[in-house]
Amino acid sequence: MKNNPLTYGYILLIHALIALAIFVVPFLSKIYALLIPIFGFYIVYKTKNKNNEVLLVAAYMVGVEVFLRMTGGNFNNEYVKLSIVFFMLMGMIYSSFTINSFVYWFFLILLIPSILVTATTDILSVDVKKALFFNLSGPFCLAFCAIYNLNRNISFSELQNIVLVMGLPIVSTTAYLFLYNPSVQSVITGTQSNFETSGGFGPNQVSTVLGLGMFVFFTQLILFSKSKKMLILNGILLLVISYRAIVTFSRGGVITGVVMIAILLLLLYLHSSREIKGKLAMVFVITAVMGVGIWTYTSMQTAGLIEKRYANQDAAGRVKKDRLGGREVIIEFELKTFLDNPILGVGAGLGKEYRKKVFGVDVASHNEITRMISEHGVLGIVGLLILFIMPFVMYYNNRSNLYFLSFYAFWLLTINHAAMRTAAPAFVYALTLITIIKNKTDNYVKTNSIVD
């Protein structure tokens, strides 16, 4: 798929047309959301998951989640995460899982005490079922993805297919954003996150998935652009996705995408021969020129407001008191909550109720780390240590996953600014646990690369 310009171009065009169809007939989004798991189930059932088809289905659902949300296709906020859990279980039935994955089963066990605290709460205003689903669907999705992926043997070309499949619906998201808001200049009035340029949906989540898309099509550009047509096509995709990510005025996803790309370039440089290093210098220059170009264009389209946004200034150029949009206050409160309830925490999902008592309004946590600590106590810290350490244990034993550090950075940075609202950080985290095996088509730098 990625090596045939015609097929690749048609698939991208289809996803752009999906955005157009749903923009014209919004109800189609519901049908789209229903058809994806149905076709996914058929594919996995027919193939018996012989080639880890569940990862392709899950990757597609990760990429499409924000698009479905912004177009009203999601049946509920946890629809995609629960669907991915189902496919991971289906994959385990067909392809089993390693005994070493007990560590992630243990992670799930660590969540139980705080669930019991919430289930027995006497706070009448709490919808226990809703609180648990909202706050635990992300960790559960991560755990089941990790259990399936741990020590899973796949080739680098198969991994790139997973990455690309994840990026295809992001093309639909980008196309929809242009349809929803063709003129950025007409809606930019300040330096706050902008819902109009984000398709009427949360800028933080839109920025997150577009930042992931930046990485996806950057890898396509430098590693799999075998012809000039592919080079131009992937370059254009990278530029337009980057532009729409920046004009959401939500910084987290953009910064995360840039960090992922920078890590990949650094690793390519460190692990390449002297000849390839010389050619990589050209890639660095091209990347820098593209970056400066898209930033300059965006600055012109926003009348310089984007520069003030990243300088933490308001429209008048005054430096804002907080650098994280008020998240500092929430983080500080969650740490204080942990100190007051260090053993079991306040209970899964109950942190929001405690913040409501203090601040007088519903304030959701944007930071999964401090949420885990405040709501799960010491057991939450143990769970976080498992998540932090296990990928590096796997990487130490097998360092052939070129994307490992980029994936890890995406997970870590995303859960710090967008918690686990979407399935993306859970699934991408799990991709750090796979074992890359070599095959004849995996000499990616020498045969399919822009640096060839």
Residue in the block written with tokens 């008020």:
326
Question: DSSP 3-state assignment of 380?
Answer: helix
- Output the pLDDT for position 198: 92
Residue 194 CB: number of other CB atoms within 10 A? 22
Residue 349 CB: number of other CB atoms within 10 A? 25
- Interior angle at CA 159, CA 156 and CA 165, nearest 5: 145
What are 361-405's pLDDT values in tens digits? 677 778 999 999 999 999 999 999 999 999 999 998 888 899 999
Supply 248's token pair. Answer: 């959401």
Query: Is the distance from CB of 208 to CB of 252 less than 8 angstroms?
Result: yes
- Output the pLDDT for position 447: 44
Distance CA 426, CA 449 (A): 29
- CA-based diameter of the chain, in Å? 68
Question: DSSP 3-state assignment of 109?
Answer: helix
C-alpha of 301 from chain center: 27
Query: Phi and psi for 341 in degrees, rounded to 5?
Result: -135, 65
Query: Phi and psi for 437 in degrees, rounded to 5?
Result: -110, 150
Question: DSSP 3-state assignment of 224?
Answer: coil
374 Cβ neighbours under 8 A, 6+ residues apart? 334, 335, 337, 338, 341, 345, 346, 351, 365, 380
Helical (H) or strand (E) element with 153: strand 153-155
Question: DSSP 3-state assignment of 315?
Answer: coil
- Output the pLDDT for position 407: 98
- Output the pLDDT for position 134: 85
| CA-based nearest residue to 400, from 436, 375, 428, 364 | 436
Supply 149's token pair. Answer: 């992926």
326 Cβ neighbours under 8 A, 6+ residues apart? none
pTM exceeds cut of 0.75:
yes
Residue 46 CB: number of other CB atoms within 10 A? 10
The one-letter amino acid code at 252 reads G
- Output the pLDDT for position 442: 61
Distance CA 99, CA 95 (A): 13
Question: DSSP 3-state assignment of 55?
Answer: helix
Calculate the CA dihedral of residues 18, 20, 24, 25 and round it to 10 degrees.
0
- What parts of the chain have a pLDDT lower than 50? 2, 445-448
